[in-house]
Chains A and B, each alone.
Chain A
Amino acid sequence: MTAVQKRVVINKLALAFSTLSALIALGFLFWILGVLVMKGVSALNWNIFIFEGAPPGYAESGLKHALVGQAILIGMATAIGVPLGILAGTYLSEYGKNSKLAHTIRDISDIMMSAPSIVIGAFVYAVVVMPMGHFSAWAGAIALGIIMIPIILRTTDDMLQLVPGELREAAFALGAPKYKVILSVVYRGAKAGILTGVLLGIARVGGETAPLLFTSFNDNFFTTNLNEAMPSLTVTIFNYATSPYEDWQQLGWAAAFILSMFILGLNILGRLILLAGKKRK
């Protein structure tokens, strides 16, 4: 074999290996998705949306409690995380810019974004659950809100920086004060980006289980009392899936399917908004 032939063979082998690994990876991942869809769709029926949790063996058992609880928790977390994240991101992009403080905040927030979410749960347990004496929806929402802030902060910071400086200067030249420039020029220019960031933040937090385990805990019954333990889809998936009862496991798959579709949907929607925003420019 000549040197050239050898290189061609090695090239073929290496490319085959990486194509193969791509196939292996996608195979596994589509296996998981396939299982999720098959198991989830076969477990779906209207009862899931009508009934709340019941002891194993009852025909009239559903996920209404967990769906509503999840919506409440995510709604509250969004109310905490989004305004704080957007304001903080605004500070970094419009006021802090390249100052040392701004960079420190960016770095710390970046680390927070990848920090273990269960640790946030432990922290909220210490500062909210312990003083209150019991689990509550508040605690769960605060934990999720804390996880959300760095995600929103990062996208807001990035997206505001993409707004051209000339736009700001033009508004200043018209005599607008800085807050007015930010609110009606910069925010408007970065609208699509910020919205995408919010959607991705909600998607990320919506799938979190660990920080809820000992903050909002879980409940098998319908409740809207924010001072009590609050059921969530994610913890319900965990509890039902690890239970030995066939019908609970079925409900677990249905919950897993609904949750995944919700999160994938938000992700796709976020991408589409960003894409549409880019096209318009």
Chain B
Amino acid sequence: MIDKIFFNFTRISALLILVIVAWIFTVLFNHSLEAMNTFGLDFITKDEWAPNLDKFGAYAAILGSIISTFLAMLLAIPIAIGVAIFLSEIAHDKIKGFFGVSVELLAAIPSVIYGMWGLFFFVPIIRNIFGGMGIGLLAAGIVLAIMILPFMAAVTRDAMNTTPDILKESAYALGGTQWDVIKDIIIPYAKAGIIGSLILALGRAIGETMAVTFVMGNVHHVPGSILDPTTSIPVTLANEFTEADSSLYFSSLFGLALTLLIMSFVVIAVAKFYFLRKARRA
């Protein structure tokens, strides 16, 4: 009797996850219907975002999300791989422990702190070097890169650590240098895991709100250069959700949320189910 009740409690809780996810998709879809019906494909291909005219085109926000994430990946990937190699192959055990734990702890620092730091300390530097306002795609890309770096380095290191010692030792026995072992043994062996980790970090970066809201500018305009202020999907949501005053405006914001959810769902699913699963099986 109690056995059955307990079993059902656990099962309902587990099924609740599926219900919540399905519910999130349904709610976002239903609320964005009005915008989809009004604008159709224009919603994602036009960049005119004019709440006073009831015109909403999300092109600039979508583009901003993609470019800022791309910039962040471009900057973070080489450094994260360097850090991962350092942590798994170069550092002595004592340094490894200290370095490794600090990298993991830094991954836990709230993103709002990275954003605040970016606004007060990094934006002025960009302003001094390149002129202009300082806020914009470049600042967002850099702050995002720094924020995602600890997570990326930690998961990439874990992927590299899966290489069996016996493979590495065999390569050393053949006279390979450390770099030979890294590039010919570890990277080919852990390739799927490394790619999966990087894409997983990408999925996190796309949906990141607070690190970029401070430094993006929230201007609905396709930027002429990476120094121009622009916007991204999370930045628009963070800035405008509490200001929306018409149902079409709300509906468009829900449309943005749905677009973001689908984008990150696909990216994360590819990372987890294609690459990381392949890595685990290998």
Which residues of A does B touch, CB under 8 Å?
Answer: 7-8, 10-11, 14-15, 17-22, 24-26, 28-29, 31-33, 35-36, 83-85, 87-88, 90-92, 94-96, 102, 104-105, 107-112, 114-123, 125-127, 146, 149-150, 153, 177-179, 182-183, 203-204, 206-210, 213-214, 217, 234, 237-238, 241-242, 249, 252-253, 256, 259-260, 263-264, 267-268, 271
Contacts and interface: CB of A to CB of B under 8 A. Distances in A.
Contacts of B246: none
13 contacts: A22-B87, A28-B146, A32-B146, A108-B17, A115-B207, A116-B208, A146-B20, A182-B6, A206-B110, A207-B109, A214-B241, A263-B108, A267-B104
Say what secondary structure dominates the interface of chain B.
helix
A116 B112 contact: no
B279 interface: no
Can you list the 8 inter-chain pairs with the closest CB atoms, starting with the nearest?
A: A116-B207, A21-B82, A207-B110, A87-B13, A91-B10, A11-B177, A179-B6, A210-B209
A178 to B, nearest CB: 5
B9 A35 contact: no
Contact of A88 (B13, B79, B115, B209): B13
B234 interface: yes
Given A11-B178, A115-B261, A179-B2, A105 B18 contact: yes
Contacts, number: 257
Contacts of A210: 209-210, 234, 238
A102 B206 CA distance: 28
A222 B165 CA distance: 58
B163 interface: no
A238 B23 CA distance: 29
Interface of B: 2-3, 5-7, 9-18, 20-21, 23-24, 27-28, 31, 78-83, 85-87, 90-91, 99, 101-106, 108-117, 119-121, 146, 149-150, 153, 177-180, 182-183, 200, 203-204, 206-210, 213-214, 234, 237-238, 241-242, 253-254, 257, 260-261, 264-265, 268-269, 272-273
Contacts of B79: 21, 24-25
A95 to B, nearest CB: 6
Given A29-B146, A87-B9, A96-B14, A122 B241 contact: yes
Given A119-B261, A177-B3, A125 B273 contact: no
Contacts of A126: 27-28, 31, 254
Contact of A114 (B15, B182, B200): B200
Nearest to B149: A25
Nearest to B181: A11
A120 B24 contact: yes
B251 to A, nearest CB: 11
A132 to B, nearest CB: 15
A234 B210 CA distance: 10
Nearest to B236: A118
A149 B253 CA distance: 26
Nearest to A21: B82
Contact of B28 (A84, A107, A119, A150): A119
A260 B110 CA distance: 7
A118 B153 contact: no
B10 A118 contact: no
B254 to A, nearest CB: 6
A171 to B, nearest CB: 13
A153 B83 contact: no
Given A32-B146, A178-B7, A209 B90 contact: no
Given A117-B207, A122-B237, A177-B3, A149 B108 contact: no
Contact of A94 (B10, B105, B120): B10
Nearest to B266: A111
B10 A88 contact: yes
Contacts of A242: 119, 214
A187 B119 CA distance: 46
Nearest to B265: A111
Contact of B17 (A36, A90, A105): A105
Nearest to B85: A18
Contact of A25 (B115, B153, B253): B153
B174 to A, nearest CB: 12
A178 B3 contact: yes
A74 to B, nearest CB: 13
Given A126-B27, A267-B108, A179 B7 contact: yes
B209 A209 contact: yes
